[in-house]
Amino acid sequence: MTMANGRNGAHDPERIENLSLSLPPVTGGRVVSGFELARLEDLDVIEDYGPSYVDAFEQTEVITGDVEQFNRIRKAIFELLDAFNVNWDDPNYTETPDRVAKAYLQFWANGYARSAEDEVTLFPNSSGSNDLVVVKDMQFYSLCSHHLAPFKGYGAVAYIADQHLLGLSKLGRILDIYARRFQLQERIGAQVSDKLMELLRPRGVMTVLYDVEHLCMSSRGVKLHEATTSTVAARGVFRESAELRAEALRLIQAKP
Ligand SMILES: [Zn+2]
């Protein structure tokens, strides 16, 4: 079993729910983790909410999405700020509708313009391997569809191959495609698992989203700021076997 964990963050795997596990490790299990810092750079993921988004905007002129969509978003942001009677002579506001519209299309909601089919390549499972593969600690960012507030956390995908294999970095890419929309945490996990079942046709897949902080909750204060949420979307053999689910969760929970 090889493990690598490049993440320096302090997430506590013990917060994952339903982890009363005492099973011995499955031999042949393979854990690959911690690639997110390098790989997610390829995906234009910005690590923090804050000045870095502004910096990223300043560095690029690229607008994804069509012009009509950009203009509609820009107009909506203008109306939002105007409803607060902001001072449009203040240079801090004058370009804000443009900046925000670009940020939605380039980062926060860029998943609508992407499809897993376009970004994923399958390989034949020529060795016939059906080991349990787990990729974990993939950091994701999303926006809740109830409040349009950011939420962020970590994702792990476990799968057991059948006829096809998938490049491991592609699991993070699929997670990113579904996270970067207006979303519900549990729907992201379900969509990732369902899309992998459709594309890869594995024996089973399980997507776990853990240590997820929802700003719509934490920003309201009152002890909720400590709360994180975990969800599991199991398909195929993972849905049928509690033992397999438990083993995958044990590997996701394991520290390097
Ligand atoms: Zn919310």
Predicted local distance difference test score (pLDDT) of residue 64: 52
Q: Is 169 in the same domain as 62?
A: no
Q: Is 98 in the same domain as 34?
A: no
The C-alpha atoms of residue 47 and residue 44 are separated, in whole angstroms, by 9
Higher pLDDT, residue 40 or 143: 143
Q: What's the 221 CA to ligand 1 centre distance in angstroms?
A: 14
Q: Is 158 in the same domain as 236?
A: yes
User: How many domains is the chain partitioned into structurally?
Assistant: 2
Q: Is 201 in the same domain as 149?
A: yes
Predicted local distance difference test score (pLDDT) of residue 34: 36
Q: Is 30 in the same domain as 120?
A: yes
Residue 1 lies in a domain: no
Q: Is 34 in the same domain as 139?
A: yes
Tokens standing for 55? 């910096």
Q: What's the 109 CA to ligand 1 centre distance in angstroms?
A: 16
- Find the CATH number of the domain harbouring 31: 3.30.1130.10
Which residues span the domain enclosing 75?
A: 51-111
Q: Is 90 in the same domain as 214?
A: no
Q: What residues are neighbours of ligand 1 (ion), with CB under 5 Å? A: 144, 146-147, 216
List the single range of 65-79, 137-151, 186-200, 230-244 with lowest mean pLDDT: 65-79
pLDDT digits (tens, 9 = 90+) for 84-101: 999 999 999 999 999 999
Kindly state the percentage of the chain with pLDDT values over 70.
72
Q: How confident is the model at residue 127 (pLDDT cuts 50, 70, 90)?
A: confident
- Residues 208-235 have a mean pLDDT of 83
Residue 194 lies in a domain: yes
Residue 57 has pLDDT above 60, yes or no: no
Residue 6 lies in a domain: no
Q: What's the 118 CA to ligand 1 centre distance in angstroms?
A: 30
| Most confident residue range from 11-15, 65-69, 169-173, 203-207 | 203-207
The DSSP string of 89-131 is TSHHHHTHHHHHHHHIIIIITGGGG--HHHH--EEE-TT----
